[in-house]
Chains A and B, each alone.
Chain A
Amino acid sequence: MADSNVATRSRSSLRAAARLSRRDAINLLVVAGGVLFVLLALPSLLTPYWVVTSTSAVTFMIVALGLGLLVGRVGMISLGQGAVLALGAWVGARLLFATALPYPIVLVMTGLITMVLGTMIGLPALRVSGLYLALVTLMLAGAITVVLVDTNFPNGGSGFLGYADQSTGTPPSIRRPSIAESDPAFFRYVVIVALLMFLLALWHIRGKPGRAWAAIRQSEPAALAAGVNVTVYKMWAFALASFVTGIAGALLGSASHVLYAYTFPTSQSIVLFAVVLMGGVYTLFGAVIAGVLLQVIPGAFTVWGIPSEWATILFGVGVLQVLTTAPAGIAHQLPSDLARLGRFLFGVARRRIPAGGRAP
């Protein structure tokens, strides 16, 4: 009796394992298919306007990835990621003007420098959590924004700040990778960089940091008691988020070729947080949705002639909706909504075609 029970149990668990890996495999295929489509087919299908907008969308997916990591995995709210993005853009632009290093190296350097800056700036914030942390990061972002308005963004000038108030003629251009000068080529480049960032995040999540973060999010005291070095892992999360956001900043500079301080207002950090919430902070797919929401919707509104205030209204309603009914965001809500829709339609279809000729 016992033997057959064990056998049945082990058979069913094997079957369960096989089913799980099949679902994983399907997910992987879908994602790979999507990425290939975006890389190969999409640029030629889009107009130049949409190629640029999509490039921004993918760049902001990287930013959303960093913020989503902080919020969803570790439970730390940072309302200052906009400022980290601006910092990354500054560092990237400075390096691109000052050196002739290959683009990928500049990207990594920018990521590392922003990582150090972001962690240093985040250090005081590590001692607090919850709402207090959110407010402090907002304060830090505000301070950085004021400094950036004064120092401006590098534009090929000399000196540490690299800013020359040269308003005559065409402003010097922040360069792009030599293999990806055109807009469609740069779009593909950005998609590949984004992919690498997502893989980096995934590697962390699946590994030891991910487990430590989950423990911290669950309960900080418990994690501490379990021997997790809470401060180090929190710093690590900040560092990773700053790293990817810094790289995104550098990409933004190359995308626009010129940077201005008012492209990074403090309110952007708030909208970013709102949209990341809407997209969903518990899955990587949520970051993809957030990037789309942040850039594609306003972009679409512009070409369709819909006033831009509607995007702001949409985001406001979206945040309220997400927090009250769907805390896991659209990433979770959409599949389950679609499933519910599917069941509803199926039910309607069944009623329309009465079984056995009897009315419902």
Chain B
Amino acid sequence: MRKHFGWRVRIPVAMLVVAVGLTIAATGFSKTSGAHAVKAAGLACGLGTGQKATGTPIKIGAIAVKQAGTDFTDIPNMANAYFQCVNDNGGIYGHPIVQDLLTDQTDPGALAADAKQLIETDHVVGIAGSSDIIDCAVNSAYYKKMHFNVLEAGIAEQCYSSPAEAPVNMGPRYSADGATQTAIALHAKKIAFDQSNVPGTQYNLGGSKLIAKAAHVPIQFLTEDAANINGETAAEKEVQAAGPGGAVVLVFTPPVALAILQGAQHLGLENKVIWTCATPCNTDFLATALGSAWNHKLYVNAEMNLISQDNGPNSVLYQKVLKLYGSNVAGGIGSFSQFGFLLGQLAVKGLLSIKSKVYTPQTVNAAFKALKNFKTDFLCKPWYFGPLPNNTDFTVYPQDGKMVLVPKSGCLPISTVDPLVKQVRAYEKAHHV
């Protein structure tokens, strides 16, 4: 009996050891990504001095969603990769930036606690690089109360309406607007708009509804259970709703969009309707996975430029930083890490602009709010701290395994039929932004 018991105890322990060993061997200690030798010679990160920053650290907080099926940690991780590069290049006048990242599982109570932890316990001086499904909804009032101006990649409506939040992206609503506009420009007779059934569906479709109405194109709204998606069922449903000569607007994360498009392909539906998609479809991976049958058939509204075809200074630097410091950015080149890189750059620009060189929540958040006229080849127009600075973007489609700019598409301004866009354009015109 005792011999049995000894054996019984050892087996689970052995299993645990095997699991641990496997995982560590495969993934390594991802936290120490930036600890290698300074390879920053020639990298224009921050001050670009090539000297390692060793002063008192500046703590920048971030919150990102990480749960089954939804993981946006690539965004703050890429921002942190840029911070590491900056730290190897003089930091912020000698001060290294340290990221305080908390992950969330769409638990509103924990999210509120996360925000309090960052601001009241960890005493971060600014929050940049956040990306969470409900952070803006749950915490924007708290951020405003604490006079924090958050730089984020948004999703929920509050990310675009709260004065305490500034997004680098358009989010599902405005990106879907762009896809809808493209569908209408391609003379769709009817539009089927499909998205995941997580809360916020009405907000996401709000703009497209107005745009389609203004263009006198009928539009039907569908939802899918993204967690249990059956690509073929969804594709067939969408095509039936769009009808002959119609268009489908997809608003899904890449794996779900891929499942639907592959389902459409299985059923031979790629030629039946016009297929458009919001930003998440803008990845070369999707182009490769779909193959040449989809050449020029999927119009994607792209909030950021195509890295693979752009040699602008930001795109080049982004790839270098990703390679040297971005070992924990699992998604590699793509919109998410682009958002993260831009957020990192903005935070650093803000910090560097503080003349007093005193870094407190007051000075840092004032600096973030004052950010403007930030030019980058990622975006069509310069970025500024505001509700929707990224409101004009690109249109791409797959070609032989890569995403390419649709010829003669240029920069697509999102329609002012959508009220916030109208408001923002008026502001930009008045302030010559």
Q: Write the residues of chain B forming the contact surface with A, with a CB cutoff of 8 angstroms.
A: 5, 8-9, 11-12, 15-16, 19, 31, 66-68, 101-110, 112-114, 116-117, 120-121, 134, 137-138, 140-141, 156-158, 161, 197-203, 225, 227
A-B contact pairs, 22 of them (CB 8 A): A47-B120, A47-B121, A48-B120, A52-B112, A52-B116, A150-B197, A165-B203, A167-B200, A168-B203, A169-B158, A170-B140, A255-B109, A256-B109, A257-B138, A258-B137, A260-B106, A260-B198, A298-B105, A299-B110, A303-B117, A308-B66, A324-B11
CB pair A317–B199 under 8 Å, yes or no, is: no
Q: Which of A52, A146, A324 contacts B109 (CB 8 A)?
A: A52
Q: List A296-344 residues whose CB lies under 8 Å from chain B.
A: 298-299, 302-303, 305, 308, 313, 317, 320-321, 324-325
A168 partner residues in chain B, CB cutoff 8 A: 157, 161, 203
CB pair B113–A49 under 8 Å, yes or no, is: yes
Q: List A211-260 residues whose CB lies under 8 Å from chain B.
A: 252, 255-260
Q: Does A171 contact B (CB under 8 A)?
A: yes
A258 partner residues in chain B, CB cutoff 8 A: 108, 137-138
CB pair B106–A262 under 8 Å, yes or no, is: yes
Give A265 to B16 CA distance when docked, in angstroms.
27
Besides A259-B108, A267-B68, 17 new A-B residue pairs in contact (Cβ under 8 A), listed by A number? A48-B117, A48-B121, A52-B109, A165-B202, A167-B137, A167-B203, A168-B157, A170-B158, A171-B137, A257-B109, A265-B227, A299-B110, A302-B102, A302-B114, A317-B19, A320-B15, A324-B11
CB pair A263–B19 under 8 Å, yes or no, is: no
Q: Which of A146, A149, A165, A308 contacts B105 (CB 8 A)?
A: A308
Which 4 A-B residue pairs are closest in the complex by CB-CB distance?
Answer: A52-B113, A256-B109, A49-B117, A167-B203
- Min Cβ gap B282→A in Å is 25
Q: List A141-161 residues whose CB lies under 8 Å from chain B.
A: 146, 149-150, 152
Q: Does A53 contact B (CB under 8 A)?
A: yes
Q: Which residue of A lies closest to B101 (CB)?
A: A305
Q: Does A261 contact B (CB under 8 A)?
A: yes
Q: Which residue of A lies closest to B134 (CB)?
A: A260
Q: Does A56 contact B (CB under 8 A)?
A: yes
CB pair B117–A261 under 8 Å, yes or no, is: no
Give A29 to B197 CA distance when docked, in angstroms.
51
B11 partner residues in chain A, CB cutoff 8 A: 324
Q: Which of B108, B113, B137 contacts A53 (CB 8 A)?
A: B113
Q: Does A81 contact B (CB under 8 A)?
A: no
A302 partner residues in chain B, CB cutoff 8 A: 102-104, 110, 114
Question: Knowing A49-B121, A53-B110 touch, does A325 contact B12 (C-beta < 8 A)?
Answer: yes
Q: Which of B9, B12, B109 contacts A56 (CB 8 A)?
A: B109
Most buried by B among A55, A252, A317: A317
A52 partner residues in chain B, CB cutoff 8 A: 109-110, 112-113, 116
Question: Knowing A302-B102, A317-B15, A320-B12 touch, does A257 contact B117 (C-beta < 8 A)?
Answer: no
Residue count of chain A within 8 Å CB distance of chain B: 42
- Min Cβ gap B157→A in Å is 4
Q: Which residue of B lies closest to A305 (CB)?
A: B31
- Min Cβ gap A328→B in Å is 14
CB pair B102–A317 under 8 Å, yes or no, is: no
Give A255 to B112 CA distance when docked, in angstroms.
10
CB pair B113–A265 under 8 Å, yes or no, is: no
Most buried by A among B11, B112, B157, B158: B112
- Min Cβ gap B423→A in Å is 13
CB pair B12–A49 under 8 Å, yes or no, is: no
CB pair A325–B110 under 8 Å, yes or no, is: no
Q: Which residue of B lies closest to A153 (CB)?
A: B199
Question: Knowing A267-B68, A324-B12 touch, does A260 contact B114 (C-beta < 8 A)?
Answer: no
Question: Knowing A149-B197, A308-B103, A320-B12 touch, does A55 contact B109 (C-beta < 8 A)?
Answer: yes
CB pair A260–B225 under 8 Å, yes or no, is: no
Q: List A37-52 residues whose CB lies under 8 Å from chain B.
A: 47-49, 51-52
Give A185 to B156 CA distance when docked, in angstroms.
30
CB pair A321–B12 under 8 Å, yes or no, is: yes
Q: Which of A48, A55, A305, A317 contacts B116 (CB 8 A)?
A: A48
Q: Which residue of A lies closest to B136 (CB)?
A: A170
Q: List A53-78 residues whose CB lies under 8 Å from chain B.
A: 53, 55-56
A53 partner residues in chain B, CB cutoff 8 A: 110, 113
B156 partner residues in chain A, CB cutoff 8 A: 167
Question: Knowing A49-B121, A167-B157 touch, does A56 contact B110 (C-beta < 8 A)?
Answer: yes
Q: Which residue of A lies closest to B138 (CB)?
A: A258
CB pair A170–B141 under 8 Å, yes or no, is: yes
CB pair B9–A325 under 8 Å, yes or no, is: yes
Q: List A168-205 residues whose CB lies under 8 Å from chain B.
A: 168-171
Give A326 to B15 CA distance when docked, in angstroms.
17
Q: Which residue of A lies closest to B20 (CB)?
A: A313
CB pair A265–B68 under 8 Å, yes or no, is: yes
Give A169 to B160 CA distance when docked, in angstroms.
10
A49 partner residues in chain B, CB cutoff 8 A: 113-114, 116-117, 121
Give A313 to B8 CA distance when docked, in angstroms.
19
- Min Cβ gap A195→B in Å is 21
Q: Which residue of A lies closest to B225 (CB)?
A: A149
- Min Cβ gap A223→B in Å is 31
A325 partner residues in chain B, CB cutoff 8 A: 5, 8-9, 12
Q: Which residue of B lies closest to A163 (CB)?
A: B199
A149 partner residues in chain B, CB cutoff 8 A: 197, 225
CB pair B117–A152 under 8 Å, yes or no, is: no
- Min Cβ gap B342→A in Å is 24
Give A252 to B31 CA distance when docked, in angstroms.
33
- Min Cβ gap A117→B in Å is 23
Give A262 to B105 CA distance when docked, in angstroms.
9
B110 partner residues in chain A, CB cutoff 8 A: 52-53, 56, 299, 302
- Min Cβ gap A13→B in Å is 32
Give A308 to B113 CA distance when docked, in angstroms.
17
Give A77 to B31 CA distance when docked, in angstroms.
41
Give A58 to B409 CA distance when docked, in angstroms.
57
Q: Which residue of B lies closest to A171 (CB)?
A: B137
CB pair A303–B102 under 8 Å, yes or no, is: yes
Question: Knowing A321-B12, A324-B11 touch, does A169 contact B68 (C-beta < 8 A)?
Answer: no
Give A167 to B205 CA distance when docked, in angstroms.
12
CB pair B19–A313 under 8 Å, yes or no, is: yes
